[in-house]
Structure 1
C-alpha cells in the first residue's frame, strides 16, 4: 500500500483561530496528503529534526518573526536548502507586520519579495509557471481571493497574476521585470520557498497548496549542502536579536501579543454579531459592532469594509468618508473603499474629489458594475448651477496616498502616565526611578515616536530638524529599537509634504521665515478619525439632526475686552501659580501647523489668563508658572531659550 506524502503545518501562536478558519479545508488536503499539525515548540523541533523529514512544511502564522522561535527559522532555512518545501500561508498574510515579512524574505530566504497591498481580486494562473502543475485538475485557471499580495516577484515565480489591463509591473535592480502576486514559489538552494496570501481559505487556494506540496521532485531525499553557517547568519538578521536590551523587547512583545490575541478574538466575535445584525437589516446596530471591533483590534480592512458597507446603508456620508479614507491609507487601491468614498463625497458635494475616486475605481476594475453611471451622475451635478461644489484642502492629497502601516496602541502603564504634560527626560533616556509616582509625562505625545522599549524617540531628530543634542533633548535620539521601515524612512513622502508646505508658504507669505513642523509629517493617528468618535450609529434621529444648519461660531473676544468685562462685573482676582503653563517642549519647535493635534502642548490663547497677577508671575518666569519653571530647570530644560 502506497503511503501518502507527509506535510506538516506549523501554527505555534494562533492555532485556535487557524483551526476555526481553515479546519474544514484540512480534510481536503488529507485526501492526498498525510497532514500533521505542530502547535508547540517541542513538536516543531521534533518534526524538523526527524530522520524522515516531511515532504513539505506549511507555516500557518507569524511565529517565525518572533525572536523566541529563532532556531525554528534557522531549521526551516536549512530544510529548504537541503531540498524541502516551505510555504508561508494561512494567517501569515493577515497577522505578520509588513516590515517583519520583508525582513524574513530578504534576509532569511534571500528573495527580494516585499509585502504589498491587501485586497480582493480575481487572479488568473500564470501560464509560464514550471515549478508546479498547471493542470486544471490540480490548479484552478482563475479564482477570486482576498489576499495580501507581494511585489518584486519574477514572472517565473509568480503563480497567479491580475488581468493584464491592471497588472502591476516594476523594474528590478538588474533591469528585469518584476510583478505583484498573491502567490509566489521560488527555488532556494535545492528546495523551494513559497507564499500564499489568501486569508479566506478559498477552494483554489487549497488546490494551490496541494500542488505546491506535490511539486515535481518534492519526494527526493534531502541533501546535506554546505554554507549552513552563512545562511544562518543571514537568517539571524531577519529576526532582531543582536540589540543590547533585546530581552526587554521580547518580554514586552510577549505581553503585547497576549493582549493582542485577546483583543483579536473579541473583535472577531463582534464582527460575527455584526454580520448577523447586517443580515437582519439592522444597519445601525451592525455598524456599532463593526466600529467597536475596529476600535478594539485596530483599523483592519476586514472591519472597515463591513463598517463602510453598513454606513452606506445608513447614508451617513461624513463617517463613511472618514472610514473609507482610513482604509485607503493602509491600502490605496482597495476598489470598494474607493467606490464608497466616491459616493460619500458626491453626497457631500465634493464633486471633484468624488470623480477622482470613481475614475480610479474604473482604472483598477474596468468591469465594475455601476461606476460609469456614478461618474456621469457626478459630472451632471458639477454642471448644475443650483449646487455649489465644496472644496476640502486635503482632497487632493487623499486621492492616492502612500501606504501607511497600522499603528498599534501602547497598552503599558507608562502609556497613560501623563503627569504634568512635560516629558520626563530620565524616562526617555536611562530610566525613571520614580515610576508611576513621577510628576512628569511618560506617555507618548505628538512630538515623539514610541519604540519597542516604550521610550519616546524625538520626532524632530528622526526627520533631521532637532536643535538639541542627545543629552539636552527630553526625548531619546536612538533609533535602535524602532522598526527599520517606519514612515520617517519614506523620504519621497516627506519631500512631497515639504514641497507642498513651501508652495503654500509662497502663496500666503508672512514676515517670519517658516518651515513645516515635524508633527505635520507624522501620519495622524486613526484614533482621531471621525469614524472612531463615540457616536451611536444606531440613533434614528441622526439624519434629521444632520440636515439642520450648523449655528454660527461665537465671535472671538480679545483678552483685554474680557478682562474689562470681568472688572465691570465685579469679579475678584486671586493670584495663581499653578496650572495652564505651556511647556518648553511645546514651545520649541513650533511651526506653521500650530499645535499638531496635541492637547498637552497647546499655545495659550486670549482666554487662558484670567487675572493680572498670573500675567505678572508668568512675565517674571518666561511665560511659565514658578513651579513649572523650577521643574524644567531640574530636567535640564532652559525655559528662556527660543528657537
Structure 2
C-alpha cells in the first residue's frame, strides 16, 4: 500500500474518533463526526451507537432513541452496550411522555414521532454510501498486516488552502483537533490554552470558523439566556483539560504495561533460544575446561598426539623468543618507555571516569556481561521494543513536537519530522 492511498476503513476511524470526543464530553463534535462516518458507511454499528450516546448526553432523547431503534432493527442488538442503552432510553422517553402528554394525545404524538424518527436516524442503513471528499483525505501506508501508519496533519489545509490533488498529509480531524465549518482542523490544545508549539503547530489556531455562542429564547420573565460554546466557558475548558490529562495518563499506563509485557516476553524468548542453541551445539564447539594445575585450556577428549604436537610447538616458540632476546637492550628500553606512557594514559582515563561518576552518580553504567538475548537483537531494536517502535533519540525528537510515543499519531508525526 502506498502512502497516497486511503485507510482500509475511514468510517471506522471516524467512529473511533467520535468515541474519543465522547470521552472528553465534546458531544457536538462527536455527533458531527459520527454522522460523517454514517454517510461513508450507513451500516456502521459503532458510529451509530456513538452518535446515540452523544445525543443522549445533549438531552436529545428523540435522536438517541431513533439511532438505538435502528441498531436494534438492523441486527445490532448484540453490539456492546446497545441492549442496556435501548432499555434506559425508552424508559426515559416514557417518563417524558407521562409528564407532558395525556392518554388522549399520546397516540397522535407517537405517529408523529415515528416520522420524525426516520428523519433523525438519517442516514438509514439501506442508503448507499457516499464518496470521500477532500476533507476526508487521510493517507496511510501499511507497516504490518492489518496495521497502518497515518500521515501527519496537513499544514496547508489547516492554515491556508491545500492545492495538491493527492496530498501526502492528512486533512481529517484527530484526537488533538476539531473541525470547523470550513473543514479546517482547529488545535484542541490551543482551545484549552496549553499548546506549546505556537507557529510550528500544524493545526489552525483560530475560533473564527467555529460555531458562535447561542442566545436562547426568552423565558417567562422576558430575559434571554446566552449559551456559551465550551471553548468560551472557563469551567468547561478546565473540565475538558482535566479529562484530556486523564486520558493521556491512562494511555501512558497502558503503553507502559504493554512495553513491560513485551520486554518480559523478549527475555523469555531469548532464554529459550539460548537453551535450544546450547542443546544443538556441535561437538567442535563444546566449551573448554580449565586445567587448574598449569592454568592452560584443553578441549575435552584431546588425544596424546595432539598434546605432544602442542608441546613441540610451545618449545619451538620459546627457542625463537630466546633468539630474539639477544641484543634487544635498546628494544627493552623502548618497551619500558611505552609501558610507562600507557600507564599514565590509563591513570588519566580512570581519574576522568571517576570524576564523571561523581558528577552523575545516578547514571546507569553499561553492563558488560553477556545477556540472554539472541545476537540478532541489537541495542536499537531493544530500545524500539521498550519505546513502542522508537529509539531513545527518536523519543526525544517526538517530545520536542509535543507528542508522546504512545499517542495514536506518534508514528505519523515522526514520519514527517524531517520536514520541520
TM-score tier (shorter): 0.3 to 0.5
TM-score normalised by length of structure 1: 0.25
Say which one has the larger Rg.
Answer: 2
Which one scores higher on RCO, CA 8 angstroms, separation ≥ 6?
A: 2
TM-score normalised by length of structure 2: 0.35
Structure with a larger share of its residues in strand: 1
Structure with a larger share of its residues in helix: 2
